Amino acid sequence: MPLIYRAMTVDPDGKPKVGQTARTLGARVPPAGRPDIRPDGAGVVRPGTGGMSVAPGWRTLPTHRIPSRLKPLVPDATGKEEDACFCMGDGPFTSGAVAPDLDLRVDRPAHGMVEPAAAMPVSDYQRALAATRDQWVIDEG
């Protein structure tokens, strides 16, 4: 499973907050502004059409996502303090399976998308993302 990183809001239990925003564990779908993935008319999402953004390392996340407390390590960091840099997996940042029903599609060296592995209702896709919650750990070292 590829090693992936994402900055997300931390729940009181130290795990990422589940939701459908750019700062939670989940994907933005219409009518959200700038959706990550768009279901078809039947509410189905498909591989190769987008998904939850991730990076190969927390230092390669967009600087507006890296919590500003990490400025000593990333001088341009301007992210929210209630967020943390989480990681999941341990393999190379290459396209492939990340969890049941989820695949990573790398679209450029410092960015990938966790997408549905097969066509599925958007609600099943969101549940598959949420099911990874306990696998994410904070890594800001």
pLDDT tens figures, 23-63: 999 999 999 889 999 999 999 999 999 999 999 999 999 99
pTM for this predicted structure: 0.96
Instruction: Determine the Cα–Cα distance for residues 129 and 59; give it in Å rounded to an integer.
Output: 23
Decide if pLDDT at 91 tops 90.
Answer: yes
pLDDT, one tens digit per residue, over 96-118 is 999 999 999 999 999 999 999 99
